[in-house]
């Protein structure tokens, strides 16, 4: 049984693929190598197809013979979606529709869509859950809501077994290409550079360790009867100011913290309740934030030469 992972060379994919292989699944990856190349999976017995989710022919090749699809490929930066909403739409909305069409034609039995909680629901009083009304305030959130809508439509119109997993803010090893607070804070802390916070630091997020998230994805693959929308979250609300302190403690660094104006499209507070995920998937986030940040800092420290060199001479 072949499982296709779109965006499999990215941060989550590079952690998920070895987990799928360890579980006895044959894995194929579709990736355009915009974030990282196939060398990320060099040690894994996996077929890699180079292609973009906007390329229908590439997706048809990648889905051929697949029984399941984990659709991770996305343009995931909120600020970039505000700056260029059309580019975000092409990848996240049109790209998801392309993958769904190819999956339906290929006879795929299970389709997992990587969605989001905070950006999709918008500024709602936390905690949020599957019953919260989506009101996205960024084009990125809107594009993920669009993807969820198409998943629901393909389940109703074609019988495709779809599930949208709403991820909390994911962090962990192999995230050197990720643009987000955790990665940025860790890199700057290890370089002994000042940390930059947009706003006063009171904004909150729900941070989930990548191994916990990937275990939730595997659980969703193993339970095809579970469909609809499910939140995967740590259930802990953490301010950006607290996150900065945890990173600095783990890195053993003392640096200044600078504040810039808040960015448009960013929600102020967000964390989710994962009670439904526990009920239907047996999911629970097992890694507390301090433990996960310490492991992530250790990985960044051990691989610093590689990511420092890559940033000095970008691809």
CA distances (Å), origin 108, targets 4, 99, 165, 214: 10, 11, 18, 20
Structure tokens at 234: 């740590």
CA distances (Å), origin 150, targets 13, 19, 33, 99, 155: 22, 28, 26, 11, 8
Q: Which of 140, 150, 209, 276 is catalytic?
A: 140
Distance CA 102, CA 267 (A): 34
8 Å CB contact between 41 and 67:
no
Cα-Cα-Cα-Cα torsion 189, 194, 196, 199, nearest 10 degrees, comes to 120
Q: Is 171 a catalytic residue?
A: no
Structure tokens at 257: 């913290």
CA distances (Å), origin 253, targets 243, 245, 300: 14, 10, 14
List, by residue number, the catalytic residues.
140
């Amino acid at each position: 049984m072949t499982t296709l992972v779109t965006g499999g060379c990215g941060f989550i994919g590079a952690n998920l693929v070895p987990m799928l292989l360890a579980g006895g699944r044959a894995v194929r990856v579709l990736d355009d190598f915009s974030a990282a190349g196939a060398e990320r999976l060099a040690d894994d017995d996996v077929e890699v197809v180079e292609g973009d989710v906007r390329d229908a022919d590439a997706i048809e090749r990648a889905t051929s013979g697949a029984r399941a699809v984990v659709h991770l490929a996305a343009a995931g930066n909120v600020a970039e979606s505000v700056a260029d909403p059309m580019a975000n739409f092409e990848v996240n909305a049109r790209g998801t529709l392309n993958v769904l069409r190819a999956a339906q034609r290929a006879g795929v039995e299970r389709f997992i869509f990587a969605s989001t909680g905070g950006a999709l629901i918008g500024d709602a009083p936390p905690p949020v859950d599957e019953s919260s009304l989506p009101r996205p305030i960024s084009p990125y959130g809107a594009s993920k809501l669009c993807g969820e809508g198409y998943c629901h439509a393909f389940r109703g119109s074609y019988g495709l077994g779809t599930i949208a997993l709403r991820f909390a803010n994911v962090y962990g090893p192999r995230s050197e290409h990720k643009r987000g607070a955790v990665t940025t804070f860790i890199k700057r802390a290890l370089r002994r550079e000042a940390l930059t916070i947009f706003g006063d630091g009171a904004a909150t997020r729900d941070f989930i360790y990548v191994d916990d998230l990937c275990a939730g994805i595997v659980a969703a693959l193993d339970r095809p009867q579970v469909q609809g929308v499910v939140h995967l979250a740590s259930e802990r609300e953490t301010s950006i100011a607290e996150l900065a302190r945890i990173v600095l403690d783990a890195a053993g660094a003392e640096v200044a913290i600078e504040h810039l104006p808040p960015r448009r499209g960013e929600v102020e507070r967000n964390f989710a309740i994962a009670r439904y995920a526990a009920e239907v998937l047996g999911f629970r986030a097992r890694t507390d934030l301090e433990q996960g940040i310490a492991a992530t800092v250790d990985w960044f420290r051990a691989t610093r030469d590689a990511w420092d060199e890559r940033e000095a001479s970008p691809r």
